[in-house]
């Protein structure tokens, strides 16, 4: 009986070794493919910005945290105290009948491929959203 357990243990260890080698090989292949996929080029704000305001503007994590405490709706000036000048303004749009929504865009300092878009209707802050590029 001891010989049978020893034989089974050897077979299991061989299967485990082969499985591990296959997993490692597959992981290396996936890693190699990932490095060959072209990365996104740097974002061109001229493709989506209607008006450049402050091209070096970024929104810090601290500013984002403070913005999230501002209730909707609030005065536009209250939000602008927190976020300061935007990177750019996006084209206005009509979200609700009879209201024009203005949009300011800010790249996040800690993730520049993610932008915060703040929405205003006149002098009222009405919300925000995130856009990933």
Do 53 and 113 fall into the same domain?
yes
Q: Are residues 53 and 23 in the same domain?
A: no
Counting the structural domains of the chain, the total is 2
49 and 109 fall within a common domain: yes
Q: In this structure, are 73 and 99 located in the same domain?
A: yes
For residue 4, the model assigns a pLDDT of: 60
Same domain flag for 68 and 120: yes
* In a shared domain, residues 122 and 86: yes
- Considering the entire predicted model, what is its pTM? 0.67
List the beta bridge partners of residue 107. Answer: 115
- At 33-73, the pLDDT tens digits run 444 544 444 567 678 899 999 999 999 999 999 999 999 99
Q: Are 88 and 53 in contact (CB under 8 A)?
A: yes
User: b or e along 7-28 (b: 16 or more beta carbons within 10 Å of the residue's beta carbon)?
Assistant: eeeeeeeeeeeeeeeeeeeeee
**Which CATH number covers residue 96?**
3.30.1450.10
State which residues form the domain around 29: 1-39
- Asked if 101 and 119 count as a contact pair (C-beta separation under 8 A), the reply is yes
Query: Is residue 13 predicted with pLDDT exceeding 80?
Result: no
Q: Is residue 110 located within the same domain as residue 70? A: yes
Assess whether pLDDT exceeds 70 at residue 98: yes
Q: Clarify whether residues 52 and 110 are in a common domain.
A: yes
């Amino acid at each position: 009986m001891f010989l049978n357990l020893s034989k089974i243990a050897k077979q299991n260890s061989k299967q485990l070794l082969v499985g591990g080698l296959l997993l490692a090989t597959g992981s290396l292949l996936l890693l190699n493919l990932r490095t060959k996929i072209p990365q996104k080029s740097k974002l061109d704000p001229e493709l989506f910005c209607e008006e450049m305001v402050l091209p070096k503007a970024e929104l810090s994590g601290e500013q984002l945290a403070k913005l999230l405490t501002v209730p909707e709706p609030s005065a536009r000036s209250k939000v602008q105290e927190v976020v300061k000048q935007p990177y750019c303004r996006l084209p206005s749009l009509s979200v609700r009948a009879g209201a024009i929504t203005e949009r300011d865009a800010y790249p996040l300092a800690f993730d520049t491929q993610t932008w915060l878009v703040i929405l205003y209707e006149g002098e009222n802050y009405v919300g925000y959203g995130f856009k990933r590029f």
